[in-house]
Amino acid sequence: GAGVSQSPRYKVAKRGQDVALRCDPISGHVSLFWYQQALGQGPEFLTYFQNEAQLDKSGLPSDRFFAERPEGSVSTLKIQRTQQEDSAVYLCASSPTAAEGSPLHFGNGTRLTVT
Amino acid sequence: AQSVTQLGSHVSVSEGALVLLRCNYSSSVPPYLFWYVQYPNQGLQLLLKYTSAATLVKGINGFEAEFKKSETSFHLTKPSAHMSDAAEYFCAVSAYTNAGKSTFGDGTTLTVKP
């Protein structure tokens, strides 16, 4: 079956531009996570959805970052007025349940470069 | 609060040699522990997970890990390395208190020499 799909795979933005990153999770997966992975580091949590409800956004680095999942399936991470420090790989992951201990299924990520 | 420390950002072994990747965790509640593998330009794939059943966990591709509560460790091993094992490996911890949100280590890059 299809895995987690992210688009675009690569995005180059000029400083100050807005970007939108899309995540299409595995069909039926309840939980959806966004992570930011800087070069040479592990993924850092950004935000978490259970169905359409955003239950945790404690990892969003500033109010320029916004995420939504309006119908409980596809999610979009939006970054306004991009800065160079936003350059990273943005990973989306989904999980079939909200149960603890449920492993994550990751997409291949979107590599964002801000010039 | 939870944290993960992976000792050694780079590990190099010869093909056929033992692989040992170290992970120590900190958690105020009983943890769930995971190892993920990441190949270049790809997302992370689950290798194995510990969820309070057996302390020795077997995963895919011949990898296994042992949960040692007294040492707060969850080291990843494989008896005999293969060239295809070259990748980056991440240890992660989560807990029932945070709805499955995982905290990751900084990763260990495994190089396998012929």
Residue A88 near residue B36 (C-beta atoms within 8 A): no
Give the tens place of pLDDT for each residue, B48-94.
Answer: 998 877 889 999 999 999 999 999 999 999 999 999 999 999 999 98
Mean predicted confidence (pLDDT) in A50-60: 93
pLDDT for position A36: 97
A109 to chain B: nearest residue by CA? B43
Residues in A lying within 8 Å of B, measured between beta carbons = 4, 31, 33, 35, 40-45, 48, 50, 55-56, 91, 93, 95, 98-109
Smallest CA-to-CA distance from B100 within A75, A33, A51, A70 is with A33
Structure tokens at A105: 């299924």
User: Do the chains contact at A98 and B100, CB–CB below 8 Å?
Assistant: yes
Neighboring chain B residues of A25 at a CB cutoff of 8 Å: none
pLDDT for position B100: 63
Mean predicted confidence (pLDDT) in B101-106: 90
In SS3 terms, A101-114 reads as CCCCEECCCEEEEE
